[in-house]
Chains A and B, each alone.
Chain A
Amino acid sequence: MNARNRIIVFFFGTLWLLLAGQCFADVILPDVDQKFVSVQEINPSRDAGFVVGDKLQRTMILTVKKPYELIKESLPIVGYEHRYRGQVSGIELSAISVKEDQQSQQAVYTIQLEYQVFKTGRVTKPAILRGEIVKIRQAGNTQVRQFRMPSFNFRISPLSVYGEVNLKNELSPYIPPLQLRADKEWMLLKGAAALLGLCLLALLYILGARAWLPYMGGAFAKAYRQVNRLPEDPQGLQQAITAVHQALHQVAGHSVFANGISRFTSEQPAFAPASSEIERFFALSHQVYFDPNTPLTLDLPNKQGLKRFCRHMRDCERGLRPEVRA
């Protein structure tokens, strides 16, 4: 074989190899049965507003049921860039990590993909993260099948607008809506929450009957608790009246009698709204302690009445205005 023929043979041989390789690369594998493979995708939280240099993370959770298994070598490698009609897409895979969880009936592959945008334009353009094709095979079987993961559409925005741009023409529905500033509403919400908290605290304070609340150590707060604990019998009533008397003395700083109510309310104006109730209390005290024969027409005949009186006095003690009937 002369040199010319050798060159021709080499040329055709090389051409055959290239064509054979090309044919092998473009071979379309059969899809795997959907019942063996499922995927769950976690995409970026937004699909617009990406500019050159931005990175998009997506996570594909691939569940492959046995007897199939993922061919890990079929996963894309860092630096891989999709092409469309021979043109690079400008979106490059910048990182990939795979976590495998082998279970008895299936294997779960958590594939973290990170793409970086390397293209820009004068106006917002649609772009796509194409679904990666991974290969699946049965264990101990040479037949390979493929599975295409779902793609993700998004929009790439220009870094800056330059030159004359007709916004009306270039207006894209993909541009994310401008976010309103909600600072004022947030402040309002926080204020309302604080007010609600204070109101709840005040309600607890008004209704509370425990010593751990602030200013709960007042004379009438103690008397209220004491009256609450006493039995509902004549002896308990006497003790309750004594407890209220002691509270009155403690608040006044001196003994208080029926003829000193006006002095008491003038010295302690906070108790003035309850002056009629104080008078009724003294009438009850007189009947119980000093003059049992005197008929009494009061609405404070029992411990419940005394408890209500104590609660009103406790409200006065705390600077509140009790609901006192005249």
Chain B
Amino acid sequence: MQEQQLNDWRTHALTLETEVNKVVVGQQNPVRLITIAVFARGHVLLEGDVGVGKTTLLRAFTRGIGGGYQRIEGTIDLMPNDLVYHTYLGEDGKPHVSPGPLLMSGQDLSIFFFNEINRARPQVHSLMLRVMAERTLTAFNKEHTFPHMLVFADRNQVEREETFDIPSAARDRFMMEIPIVVPAAHEIMESLIFDTRFHDVDQLISNVPADILKFDQLNSFAKVIQENIQASPALRKYALDLWLATKDPVAYGVKVSNVDMKRLVLSGASPRGMGMLLRAARVNAWLNNRSAVVPEDIHAVFHETIAHRLVFSPVYEMRRTEIARELLTGIVNAVAAP
């Protein structure tokens, strides 16, 4: 029974991927990673330059998943209550209160997109921490729950003025940080310029069939995946070795160019991070029609689930992206399985 369920859902998931890939071209890997995050029920931090298609990508997914989609732009004067409600004077001349983006879709909120999250103040980050971790919010003397909500946030690391670095505790709440880059293939780049179907985003997104997945069943099905995809003792040992290597890369002989390895890592991956890594790896195994996780499933999500959790010495923070990538590649190269 469950095997049939796994197969049916895999078909739907691959259909969703295919449809999104038709709309957002040249982003197969980010699409696969977001699919994994959706089925692993993890929040996603998108990283990329302006205008590379992050919003389009998320909207395409939202249409395929179904449920409510809300979006807010991060600005320096954004306050936490802006996420919860806003007040206005009605036609009757009286003040009115209406729900903010978080409350507007109620329990049907499936994707909450926080654009340029690093422009928001730490107070806003703090609110998001709770919402992401607990999927609840107390407002108007009532606790609101968002059981199907996934937070997708993006940050632009190029511009640093009037931005607030997301603290490591907030970063750790995100399952993945996925880089979105402009496709390197020239024919795709040319198509993005000249193909008129990419000029009207609303029209473009309407090409994705609506409700390919049942958003309100994702939580229960995610549990089925986690229960049915096995992790052998050898795989567990491998994951443990990877974790230890993120904490003490020197012990595994990992080196990063122009970096004092003894001073580099202040804190390795967290237990929550490693748990998310294995959740994502299980989903990847399921998507590849396997009944157990293999090391390659971990590799498929390793950089995206671990890199943003590592805490480096402040002196190396400016080169975080580059160092994290080299460090994690070194760890994968250094740790063997079996």
Q: Which residues of A does B touch, CB under 8 Å?
A: 238, 241-242, 245-246, 249, 254-255, 257-259, 285-286, 289-294
Contact = CB atoms under 8 A, between A and B. Distances in A.
A258 B338 contact: no
Nearest to B336: A255
Interface string B279-312: 0000000000011111110011000000000000
Q: Which 5 A-B pairs have the closest CB atoms?
A: A254-B333, A291-B292, A289-B234, A255-B336, A259-B296
B291 A255 contact: no
Contacts, number: 54
Nearest to A238: B338
B6 interface: no
Given A289-B337, A291-B291, 17 more contacts: A245-B336, A245-B337, A245-B338, A249-B336, A255-B332, A255-B334, A255-B337, A257-B295, A258-B294, A290-B234, A291-B230, A291-B292, A291-B294, A293-B230, A294-B290, A294-B291, A294-B292
B127 interface: no
B232 interface: yes
Contact of A290 (B293, B299, B335): B293
Contacts of B290: 291, 294
Contact of B296 (A238, A249, A258): A258
A289 B300 CA distance: 19
Contact of B294 (A246, A290, A293): A290
A148 to B, nearest CB: 94
Given A257-B295, A257-B296, A290-B292, A241 B232 contact: no
B262 to A, nearest CB: 22
A242 B338 contact: yes
B336 A293 contact: no
A291 B333 CA distance: 22
Contacts of A291: 230, 232, 290-292, 294
Nearest to B335: A255
Given A241-B338, A291-B290, A294-B290, A255 B232 contact: no
12 contacts: A238-B338, A245-B336, A245-B338, A246-B336, A255-B336, A257-B295, A257-B296, A289-B232, A289-B235, A290-B232, A290-B234, A290-B235
A286 B231 CA distance: 12
Determine the main DSSP class of A at the interface with B: helix
A289 B296 CA distance: 13
Contacts of B332: 255
The winner among A257, A285, A292 for most chain B CB atoms within 10 A is A257
A156 B99 CA distance: 136
Interface string B256-280: 0000000000000000000000000
A249 B334 CA distance: 9
A294 B294 CA distance: 12
Nearest to B290: A291
Contacts of A245: 336-338
Contacts of A254: 333-334
Nearest to A248: B336
A257 B337 contact: yes
Contacts of B334: 254-255
A254 B335 CA distance: 8
Contacts of B294: 258, 286, 290-291
Interface string B318-338: 000000000000001111111
Contacts of A285: 338
A108 to B, nearest CB: 82
A283 to B, nearest CB: 10
B186 to A, nearest CB: 23
The winner among B291, B295, B299, B332 for most chain A CB atoms within 10 A is B295
Contact of B338 (A259, A289, A292, A294): A289
A229 to B, nearest CB: 19
A289 B333 CA distance: 19
A150 B235 CA distance: 97
A258 to B, nearest CB: 5
A249 B335 CA distance: 10
Contact of B299 (A246, A249, A257, A292): A257
A242 B290 CA distance: 22
